Amino acid sequence: MKSIVILISGRGSNMEAILDAGLPLDIKAVISNRPDAVGLETARRRGIATCVVAHTAHASRESFDGALAAAIDELSPDYIVLAGFMRVLTGGFLARYPQRVLNIHPSLLPAFAGLHTHRQALASGAKIHGATVHFVTSKLDHGPIIVQAAVPVLRNDDEATLARRVLAAEHRIYPQALRWLAEGRIGLDANDVVEISGLIVSPGIENQELLVPWE
Ligand code: NHR
Ligand code: GAR
């Protein structure tokens, strides 16, 4: 069975969706850069090992990433799953784990990279918004896309109502992407995520089922 560690910074609802999915994955630990992350308590309650690597204890990103890598390497996971993890990782960190770091980003990338994505979507006048699971590369929020889900932007949405709708979609697609990973079905062909059989998964037919309709 493949193994993962989950990196969080806060609430941990994506982490919880992953734990709830009963995936054929060994979840070795949950690591937070914030000691007060609510998700740490949730993980502990479920008997998952937890660990804090506080970014505030480090003067530089390189130093923090070094400590994070040391904590991860003790666990030797196959994959590193960012789930609401809020620290930009250095190229040096990512080079240790090529094609082994995944993230969920609350927008339909390449639209609205960076922070405050729901605010960006509302300000842009977009009528469709969503979430993206992607491999992490040193180009922030631009790694190869594994799966996306779309939700409508409704007339009276504010950041909170839109975020809630997107979050429900996140909770569907992150476990789905990890299931594909666990089953060894995901590969990379240049910058495209492909099914190992050679079929393009993204933006293939299979993913279309994951476009989330909203009443
Ligand atoms: N690191 C790299 N190199 N590449 C990516 O694509 C990454 C990454 C680290 C995290 C998640 C990402 C998101 O989904 C992610 C993708 C944090 C920031 C940020 O600016 C931006 C994007 C993402 C996560 N963080 C501030 C920083 O100075 C801190 C903000 C805070 O602590 O609240 O690191 O959106
Ligand atoms: C999620 O919406 C996730 O996509 C987003 O933060 C939220 C975390 O919620 N991630 C980012 O914005 C990364 N910069 P959670 O802690 O409940 O999973």
The Cβ of residue 184 has, within 10 Å, a number of other Cβ atoms equal to 9
Measured in Å, residue 197 CA sits from the centre of ligand 2 at 32
How high is the pLDDT of residue 196? 62
Q: By C-alpha distance, which of 202, 180, 207 is closest to 192?
A: 202
Domain 1-97 adopts which CATH fold? Rossmann fold (3.40.50)
Q: Which residue has its alpha carbon closest to ligand 2 atom 8?
A: 84
185/60: higher pLDDT: 60
Same fold, 1-97 and 105-215: yes
- pLDDT for 7-58, tens place per residue? 999 999 999 999 999 999 999 999 999 999 999 999 999 999 999 999 999 9
Q: pLDDT tens-digit profile of 113-169?
A: 999 999 999 999 999 999 999 999 999 999 999 999 999 999 999 999 999 999 999
pTM to 2 decimals?
0.93
Q: Which of 9, 82, 87, 148 to mutate to test the pocket of ligand 1 (most atoms within 8 A of CB)?
A: 87
Question: 28-40: per-residue pLDDT in tens?
Answer: 999 999 999 999 9
In angstroms, what is the span from residue 96 Cα to ligand 2's centroid? Answer: 24
> Which ligand has the nearest atom to the CA of 131?
2
215 pLDDT above the threshold of 50: no
- Reported residue count of the chain is 215
Q: Is the CB of 130 under 6 A from ligand 2?
A: no
Identify which of 89, 103, 104 to mutate to test ligand 2's pocket (most ligand atoms within 8 A of the CB): 104
The residue extents of the domains of the chain are 1-97, 105-215
Give the pLDDT band of residue 210 (cuts 50, 70, 90).
very low
Q: How far apart are CA 70 and CA 38, in angstroms?
A: 23
118 a catalytic residue: no
Q: Which of 105, 118, 129, 134 is catalytic?
A: 105
Residues 6+ apart with CB under 8 A from 72: 5, 31, 80, 97
pLDDT at 207: 47
Is it true that the peptide bond before 213 is cis, omega within 30 degrees of 0? no
Sequence-distant (6+) residues with CB within 8 A of 146 are 102, 133, 134, 135, 177, 180, 186, 193, 201, 202
Write down the pLDDT at residue 205.
38
25 lines ligand 1 (CB under 6 A): no
Q: What is the amino acid identity at position 139?
A: K
- Is ligand 2 within 6 A of the CB of residue 141? no
pLDDT for the residue 142: 94
Whether 168 and 128 have beta carbons less than 8 Å apart is answered as no
pLDDT tens figures, 81-121? 999 999 999 999 999 999 999 999 999 999 999 999 999 99
* The pLDDT value given to residue 211: 47
| The CATH fold of domain 105-215 | Rossmann fold (3.40.50)
Nearest-atom index, ligand 1, CA of 143:
6
Closest CA to 18 of 26, 204, 128, 215: 26
Residue 49 alpha carbon to ligand 1 centre in Å? 24
pLDDT of residue 153: 96
